[in-house]
């Protein structure tokens, strides 16, 4: 499967980059055949579509070829993105769980807030990224905070919706049992509702962490000083396609890694609670 993708990619790279080579040759007053074009399309500086080995080369150079503190290092930019994502994700998850508990405990909260939480899922929230950067910038706050805020915001809603479902998962019989044992509201939440909600929580966390990465990266596009989103924007400004593709792959790897991490935590935790 992977082999097919790479083969198609090489073919596409040749076809899409060929126009530029022909153009160059025409300007030099020469004619070129495929024999000259094909190798040339593999090594362009600013290819329309870089060949896979060029992307791998750019990735290797960015990840291993630079000092990790260098502004040209993808490790450094990836770390900037990862830090903001992680902080935002943690806060978004925390607030989401608290709000979900309030919603399950209080009917007013449920009826007043829940429709808004659900409706917010249909809204392109990342659109507020440039505004958050501008408003925080006015207060002289740049760097991690605006990014983490948007990441938290994007994590928050899936966690609320998933956790409300999860906290309501125990059936009437189990709730009755808690009452029979004279378990108060706190005991019911801590010993019954929260453990029962764990599978729902982890399902939401996987969605949330992927959304948090998107939020951070998009905010970095509006605040292009550091991070993978900044690499995407500067790459697109200066036509550095290799830089864009390398940043894109690191961002994809980061998101996949974080989702895998949540999946790992899920397996460990669910085994511990015996689910």
Partner 1 sequence: MIWIVAALLVWVGFWTLNVALIARGGTARWVRIAVPALFGVALLVLWEGLVRGLDVSAVFVPAPSEIGSKFAASLPMLWGDFVQTVLKGALSGYVIGCGAAILTAIAIDRFIFLRQGLLPIGSFVAALPVVGMAPIMVMWFGFDWQSKAAVVVVMVFFPVLVNAVAGLGASDRMQRDLMATYGASWGQSLIRLRLPAAMPFIFNGLKIATTLALIGAIVAEFFGSPTSGVGFRIQASGGKFQLALTWAEIAVAALSGLAFYGIVAWVEARLTFWHPSQRGRD
Q: Is 13 in the site for partner 1 (CB under 8 A)?
A: no
Q: Is 232 in the site for partner 1 (CB under 8 A)?
A: yes
Nearest to 220 by CA among 97, 82, 56: 82
Q: Specify whether the backbone of 197 is left (phi greater than 0), alpha (psi in -120 to 50) or beta.
A: alpha
Which of 7, 68, 98, 131 touches partner 1 (CB under 8 A)?
Answer: 131
Stretch of 70-78, 86-94, 115-123, 155-163 lying at the interface with partner 1 (CB under 8 A): 115-123
Buried b (16+ CB within 10 A) or exposed e, 190-219: eebbbbbbbbbbbbbbbbbbbbbbbbbbbb
Q: Is 77 in the site for partner 1 (CB under 8 A)?
A: no
Q: Are 118 and 176 in contact (CB under 8 A)?
A: no
Q: Is 149 in the site for partner 1 (CB under 8 A)?
A: no
Q: Is 225 in the site for partner 1 (CB under 8 A)?
A: no
Stretch of 59-67, 141-149, 158-166, 230-238 lying at the interface with partner 1 (CB under 8 A): 230-238
Six token digits for residue 122:
């249909």
Q: Is 4 in the site for partner 1 (CB under 8 A)?
A: no
| DSSP collapsed to 3 states, 94-114 | HHHHHHHHHHHHCHHHHHHHH
Cα dihedral 95, 97, 98, 100, rounded to 10, equals 120
DSSP 73: -
Q: Is 123 in the site for partner 1 (CB under 8 A)?
A: yes
Please, what is the minimum distance in Å from the beta carbon of residue 152 to partner 1?
17
Stretch of 70-78, 88-96, 123-131, 195-203 lying at the interface with partner 1 (CB under 8 A): 123-131
Handedness of CA 72, 75, 78, 80 (dihedral sign): negative
Residue (86 or 194) nearer to partner 1, CB = 86
Please, what is the minimum distance in Å from the beta carbon of residue 219 to partner 1?
10
Nearest to 98 by CA among 169, 158, 163, 166: 163
Which of 159, 164, 244, 246 touches partner 1 (CB under 8 A)?
Answer: 244
Q: Is 3 in the site for partner 1 (CB under 8 A)?
A: no
Q: Are 136 and 145 in contact (CB under 8 A)?
A: yes
Q: Is 161 in the site for partner 1 (CB under 8 A)?
A: no
Nearest to 160 by CA among 110, 220, 86, 107: 110
Site string for partner 1, 39-58 (x = CB under 8 A): ---------x----------
Please, what is the minimum distance in Å from the beta carbon of residue 93 to partner 1?
17
Q: Is 130 in the site for partner 1 (CB under 8 A)?
A: yes
Using N-to-C axis directions, what is the helix angle for 241-272 and 228-237, rounded to 10°?
A: 160
Give residues in contact with partner 1 (CB under 8 A): 1, 48, 107-108, 111-116, 119, 121-124, 126-131, 133-135, 138-139, 206, 210, 213-214, 217-218, 221-222, 228-229, 232-233, 235-236, 239, 241, 244-245, 247-248, 251-252, 255-256, 259
């Amino acid at each position: 499967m992977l082999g097919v993708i790479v083969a198609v990619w090489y073919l596409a790279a040749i076809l899409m980059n060929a126009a530029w080579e022909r153009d160059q040759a025409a300007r030099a007053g020469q004619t070129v055949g495929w024999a000259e074009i094909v190798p040339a399309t593999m090594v362009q500086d600013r290819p329309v579509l870089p060949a896979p080995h060029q992307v791998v080369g750019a990735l290797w150079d960015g990840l291993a070829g630079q000092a990790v503190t260098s502004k040209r290092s993808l490790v450094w930019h990836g770390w900037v993105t990862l830090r903001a994502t992680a902080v935002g994700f943690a806060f978004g998850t925390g607030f989401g769980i608290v709000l979900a508990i309030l919603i399950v405990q209080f009917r007013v909260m449920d009826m007043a807030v829940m429709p808004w939480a659900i409706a917010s899922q249909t809204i392109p929230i990342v659109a507020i990224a440039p505004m958050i950067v501008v408003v925080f910038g006015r207060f002289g706050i740049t760097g991690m905070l605006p990014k983490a805020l948007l990441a938290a915001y994007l994590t928050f809603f899936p966690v609320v919706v998933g956790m409300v479902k999860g906290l309501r998962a125990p059936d009437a019989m189990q709730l009755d049992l808690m009452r029979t044992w004279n378990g108060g509201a706190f005991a019911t939440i801590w010993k019954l509702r929260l453990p029962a909600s764990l599978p729902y929580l982890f399902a939401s966390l996987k969605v949330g962490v992927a959304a948090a990465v998107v939020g951070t990266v998009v905010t970095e596009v509006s605040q292009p000083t550091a991070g993978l989103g900044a690499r995407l924007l500067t790459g697109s400004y200066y036509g550095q396609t290799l830089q864009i593709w390398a940043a894109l792959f690191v961002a994809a790897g980061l998101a996949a890694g974080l989702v895998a991490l949540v999946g790992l935590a899920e397996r460990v935790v669910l085994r511990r609670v015996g689910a």
